[in-house]
Structure 1
Amino acid sequence: MNLKGIHHVSAMTAKAKENYAFYTKVLGLRLIKKTVNQDNPSVYHLFYGDEQGNPGTELTFFEIPHMAPNREGVSSISATSLRVPSDKALDYWVKRLDDFGVNHGDITERAGRLTLEFRDFETQRFFLVSDEHDPFVKAGSPWDKSSVPTEFAITGLGPVQLTVRRSEATVRVLTDLLGFRLKDTYPSTFENQPSIQVYETGEGGSDAEIHLEERTDLKVQRLGRGGVHHVAFRADNEDELHTWIEKINEARFQNSGFVDRYYFKSLYFREPNGILFEIATDGPGFATDEALEHLGESLALPPFLETKRADIEAILEPLDTSSK
């Protein structure tokens, strides 16, 4: 039983409207679900992804208005990668980010792939990563209504970076519990810091990697807008998820137990450095309650919240995501 790779990454935003504009207009992603935080339905939960919202392409945001900025530090998910088809695509993205006034670095090699670092409007840290040398890793299907040409479009999630003060306990969870394996290391860009360790799961490839960074020069992260809340890993189905729940319980990790998120089923637990992990099933998927051609255009609520729709809509600030 192997985790298949990264399922989704969930981050924090203070401004749903600006978030929607950035991720659809600048990055060209599709809003695949406009819903609410199921644990706090007074705020939005926005899901972006490829045309169908396939697992492994999903980037999600909880909106907490007036949230303080993220303070970067250890015990954090410190960077998220987004896959593009080729090295040439990175040249396109340099120009596009410049055109939109987005802060970015230079194209550099990282773990054997060309990458382009940038920050979103709330300073969340990203890398665009080329699939040039990962030709057999299945990619998502770019949205045909995106303003980004298909040959340069973002096709899914790439490596996720964790930053911790001491890596040993996190390594044990990744390898002994979750079945990741050490693939490689590469130098840190920070002086006097250890090399970054690359762990992979499933069939490998950029969408199945965790990059583990040790930093002795940072305080603990204070999660805020522009920070990442959790990373989810892919389980094939619900039966497999229940087996993972048994395994997490046997390892004596406090956890959420089985959680039905309607669009997928989940388990949550924190590894020893305090980073929140989720294991999520590939299905049922985001077309469960909306037609594929109209994903994300209206407020979608899971059945257990549908009876509260009027109250929820009265609290939420309107967010127009209808098709133009």
Structure 2
Amino acid sequence: MSPDTPGLHHVTAIAGNPQANADFYVGTLGLRFVKKTVNHDDTGTYHFYFGDGEGAPGTNITFFPWTDQGREGRFGAGQTQTTAYGISSDSVDYWRDRLESQDIEFEEEERFDETVLRFSDPDGIELELVASDGEFDATPWEDGPVPTEHQLRGFYNVTLAVDDYGPTETILTDVLGYELEAEADGRRRYRSATGGPGSLVDLVETDAGRGQMGVGTVHHVAFVAESVDEQEEWREAFAAAGLSPSEVIDRKYFRSIYTREPGGVLVEMATTGPGFTEDEALEELGERLALPEWLEDERKEIEAQLPEFDGPNVDSSGD
């Protein structure tokens, strides 16, 4: 019997140009740049985190910017198709105007009786803003380019694309504890047993073939594990379901385990702590290259091989 997860912890994707990536997520979407570090498994690659005012779990979209050519990804089955943030129902007009003012093409639709604005980031990663008056725990970023009342309010849901609902649905319901909540237009919506912010996962089927990891695709989606002890329960639950979970890995700001579900999506279970203030004060988040203590001795070499990056442009246009 596995524990219950409240929902999404973070989403990690592959970007191209680090400057364009940061300028978009901070200057356009108004997320806070909460951590500049490196991929622990590839220290020549940045790892950027963008989230709410505190970088709380359930608000962070993170990126590995791959600057070398020829590493473009291809969307397909076994990938996260869309990452959606919640916005207030009163903020739809603001976001229509903001996206238009920054020449971002978007489509608007009604889905499950909610307004959805759908668009892509500079690398083609699909994003959505969903107008909802449900509960959200995001902390506003007082110094951001978007007025606090219109800021993104944390994850609303992710949409996972698979070639067949069945195997992924089994992991969602029998292991992660999600329940089918609604179905329409070829989309199945599931909610975690505990509900609340970031508790939704949608499944869609695609005939695009298996996706290829690279720039413009999502690397993995992470769900909340409340503690390392709970992670051990998740490891046992994944193994009992015939999956191959990793050992617990120290990611400095949280602990993680990984497994690939039968539909091909890479899933992480990440703890809620210790958090991003482990090595930076809250008011200084994202201002310096943060390295875990086991890489600190290599700082000079790491900084020398990282691509040029000036920090995000906090553009207030569109307010």
TM-score by length of 1: 0.92
Determine which of 140, 143, 165 is the counterpart of 2:141.
143
Deviation of 1:58 after TM superposition, in Å, equals 0.5
Deviation of 1:317 after TM superposition, in Å, equals 2.0
1:31 and 1:18 map into 2 onto residues whose CA distance is 13
User: Any residues of structure 2 matched to 1:120-159 within 5 Å, and which?
Assistant: 120-132=121-133, 134=134, 137-159=135-157
Q: SS where residue 308 of structure 1 aligns?
A: helix
Calculate percent identity across the aligned residue pairs: 39
1:33 and 1:115 map into 2 onto residues whose CA distance is 29
Determine which of 59, 68, 71 is the counterpart of 1:68.
71
Determine which of 197, 207, 213 is the counterpart of 2:198.
207
Match of 2:317 in 1: none
5+ residue gaps, structure 2, are: 315-319
Determine which of 216, 225, 236 is the counterpart of 1:235.
225
Deviation of 1:179 after TM superposition, in Å, equals 1.0
1:299 and 1:322 map into 2 onto residues whose CA distance is 13
Q: Which amino acid aligns with 1:274?
A: G
Deviation of 1:273 after TM superposition, in Å, equals 1.4
2:247 and 2:113 map into 1 onto residues whose CA distance is 38
TM-score by length of 2: 0.94
User: Any residues of structure 2 matched to 1:150-169 within 5 Å, and which?
Assistant: 150-169=148-167
Q: SS where residue 252 of structure 1 aligns?
A: coil
Match of 1:181 in 2: 179
- Contact kept? 2:6, 2:196, Cα under 8 Å: no
- Contact kept? 2:226, 2:272, Cα under 8 Å: yes
1:38 and 1:247 map into 2 onto residues whose CA distance is 27
Q: Which amino acid aligns with 1:11?
A: A
Match of 1:53 in 2: 55
Answer yes or no: is 1:3 the counterpart of 2:1.
Answer: no
Q: Which amino acid aligns with 1:269?
A: T
Deviation of 1:202 after TM superposition, in Å, equals 3.7
Match of 2:212 in 1: 222
1:265 and 1:315 map into 2 onto residues whose CA distance is 27
Q: SS where residue 287 of structure 1 aligns?
A: helix
- Contact kept? 1:67, 1:225, Cα under 8 Å: no
User: Would you say how many aligned residue pairs link Structure 1 and Structure 2?
Assistant: 311
2:136 and 2:149 map into 1 onto residues whose CA distance is 15
2:33 and 2:261 map into 1 onto residues whose CA distance is 30
Determine which of 187, 199, 211 is the counterpart of 1:196.
187
Distance 1:230 1:47, change over 3 A: same
Answer yes or no: is 1:32 the counterpart of 2:34.
Answer: yes
2:213 and 2:313 map into 1 onto residues whose CA distance is 33
Determine which of 77, 81, 85 is the counterpart of 1:82.
85
5+ residue gaps, structure 1, are: 188-194
Which of 289-298 and 113-122 deviates more?
Answer: 113-122
